Amino acid sequence: MKPRRLASPTAALGAGALLAMSFPGFDHGWLVWAWMPPLLWALWLPSRPPEPAPRRALRGFALGYLAGLGFFLLNLSWLSHIHLSACTLLPAFLALYFGAWGAFAATVGRPGFIDAPAPAESDDPWEFAVRPAMQSIACAALNAGAWCGLEWVRGWFLTGFGWNGLGVALHDELVFAQCADLVGVTGLAFLVAFPGSILAAVLVRLRREIAVARLRPHYDFAAAVVLLVAAFFYGSGKLSARPGETIGIRTLLVQGGVPQTDKVETMSAANDAERRVLYRDAIQAIYDHYYKQTNEFLQFADFDLVIWPESSLPYSLGDPHNRDYLDDLLAVKDFELVLGLNERVPTRGDYNSIVALRGDSASARTYRKVHLVPFGEYVPLRDRFPFLEKIASNALGKDFLAGETTAPLPMTKPEPYGIIPLVCFEDTFGDLARRFVRDGEPQLIVNVTNDGWFGESAASAQHFANARFRCIELRRPMARCANTGFTCIIDSAGSLHDRWGRSPDSPPRLFTDREGSTFGVGRLADEIQISRNPPTTLYARIGDAFSISLGSLALAAAALQALRRLKRRRPTPPEREKTRPAGDA
């Protein structure tokens, strides 16, 4: 292959790698501003003679797919902890979204000046400054809109996997991240993709201008700067805004750190009478562990809320052993316990639930997980395909059932408020979380999770980065309790710092052990301030309407270009007359 032909695939793969390095695991967030120009350079590379649109779209798809493959293979490498096929098949599928965007950007989102000859020195200023800038702005808006639309589709198609959208790379750039309360994290991608497309177009034009030794105004670059400045001022205002009247909730988060092998063995044994006896000591060790971790703090401090992680106890909610155990713990002091438990409902099935209790186990209020993880909590179509049923029975046993309600869990201590309950992966879905919002009611997001499946990998840090945006989108703080990974308290601006309680320089409210690791065993205690009258954000009201609208506009532009191309290919009336068969006269 010629070096020129190698340049485009290399640039595409490199762009995907740069984007992957913007996320936790590499933590070079600034690269999110630099990854798109190399890909667009590869997509826009002029060809001689000019390629027809279908061929250009096909080449764009291939280059976009390469970029997506490079991104997801690096970004999701932690899936190897489950199975080698998981960290290859899922990236191979998700890269299709990058491919679709590459085909769009190579055709509809390609500025016309790229293939046009450079204007002569005597040309009108409109031709060599204003028109190219307008083309650049229009194409950048379409490219960014197409990206937002595709991320929205990725978030729901085939149950959805919106993990690590482009906007999530801004999780440590909290000033820019604040715009998520308007457009959601999918819409936040516009803030990255629009300037990225503008920068690529400006670099193309600069190369031409340097060749003729004359620089020209770049109004499109100014438009990108205006967008970022506006976002900066909006975010600064949100970060500096002081909360109104608040409720202080004294909270204890318990990170169990139970090894994943122990959790799997004891959970499966708890559903089998014979294996219960065999694993009795291992099961009891988990119960003793959580009791000790909690009771030690209860002895010298008062708490309103204690939270344990997802599926923290082996037995089901209604099991007599669980009832006696929880009654004993709740009798130690007056507090509310929120924990993840599996809930077995007779004649129906099993649910992955969050349970809230106060006083005794009879007070249980439950939330049943609505958005289940395919192949993790259920196997799609297992009843229709015998080989899937065999695989599922060996790996999962029975499927979990999905809950049907998105009602907040009512809490009573220190005074009434509501919990937005999210189990594990659910904290990556903004459209799900917003359904729990109730106008004017004090609310706290509670996420219980277990990232122990993925060992000490980047999965837990990436999961946390995605979860932060639920706080910004809804302007509700979050208490996040993990078995291992990131047990923390996040405020309504996505910050780990207690910005208004103690001092801005206070350490982040994130559990770490003595070695500074987030994967240990321990507790995090602090007071969470929730607003008595929190706002209902634009995103909470309209969801992903911004991304849907822009994606629809990009789709309409692609359809319009295709229709124009078909119209140009139709023979004119004289041509049709010449090609008419003689017998038709």
State the average pLDDT over residues 188-213.
91
Report the 10 Å Cβ neighbour count for 47: 10
Number of domains in the chain: 2
Q: How does the average pLDDT of the chain come out, rounded?
A: 90
State the pLDDT at residue 507: 86
State the pLDDT at residue 242: 84
The answer, yes or no, to whether the previous bond of 49 is cis (omega within 30 of 0) is yes
State the average pLDDT over residues 519-536.
95
The DSSP code for 401 is P
Lowest mean pLDDT among 53-62, 428-437, 526-535, 572-581: 572-581
3-state SS assignment for residue 238: helix
Residue carrying the six token digits 């990232």 = 451
pLDDT band for 120, please (50, 70, 90 cuts).
low
Shared domain for 498 and 560, answered yes or no, is no
- The better pLDDT of the pair 298, 584 is held by 298
- The better pLDDT of the pair 503, 103 is held by 103
Shared domain for 450 and 474, answered yes or no, is yes
State the average pLDDT over residues 146-150.
98
Task: Quote the percentage of the chain above a pLDDT of 90.
Answer: 70
Q: Could you tell me whether strands 488-490 and 443-449 are parallel, antiparallel, or unpaired per DSSP bridges?
A: unpaired
Shared domain for 428 and 458, answered yes or no, is yes
Shared domain for 93 and 118, answered yes or no, is yes
State the pLDDT at residue 123: 60
pLDDT digits (tens, 9 = 90+) for 168-181: 999 999 999 999 99
- The better pLDDT of the pair 318, 97 is held by 97
Residue carrying the six token digits 């634009």 = 538
Shared domain for 202 and 53, answered yes or no, is yes
Shared domain for 293 and 199, answered yes or no, is no
Residues facing 247 on adjacent strands: 530
- Does residue 391 sit within a domain? no
Shared domain for 428 and 350, answered yes or no, is yes
- Does residue 576 sit within a domain? no
Shared domain for 50 and 104, answered yes or no, is yes
Structural domain boundaries, residue 322: 246-370+405-532
pLDDT band for 217, please (50, 70, 90 cuts).
confident
State the pLDDT at residue 553: 98
* pTM (2 d.p.): 0.93
pLDDT digits (tens, 9 = 90+) for 371-399: 998 877 887 766 666 655 555 544 556 78
Shared domain for 54 and 176, answered yes or no, is yes
- Does residue 428 sit within a domain? yes
- Does residue 162 sit within a domain? yes
Dihedral sign, Cα of residue 348, residue 352, residue 356, residue 361: positive
**CATH code where residue 502 lies:** 3.60.110.10
- Does residue 570 sit within a domain? no
Task: Quote the percentage of the chain above a pLDDT of 70.
Answer: 90
The DSSP code for 520 is S
Shared domain for 333 and 217, answered yes or no, is no
State the average pLDDT over residues 246-250.
96
State the pLDDT at residue 394: 47
- Does residue 583 sit within a domain? no
CA pair distance 467, 482, nearest whole angstrom: 12
- Does residue 378 sit within a domain? no
State the pLDDT at residue 265: 81
State the pLDDT at residue 396: 56
Q: What is the largest CA-CA distance in the chain?
A: 102
Shared domain for 356 and 426, answered yes or no, is yes
State the pLDDT at residue 585: 39
- Does residue 335 sit within a domain? yes
State the pLDDT at residue 581: 55
Shared domain for 126 and 157, answered yes or no, is yes
Contact 258, 546 (CB under 8 A): no
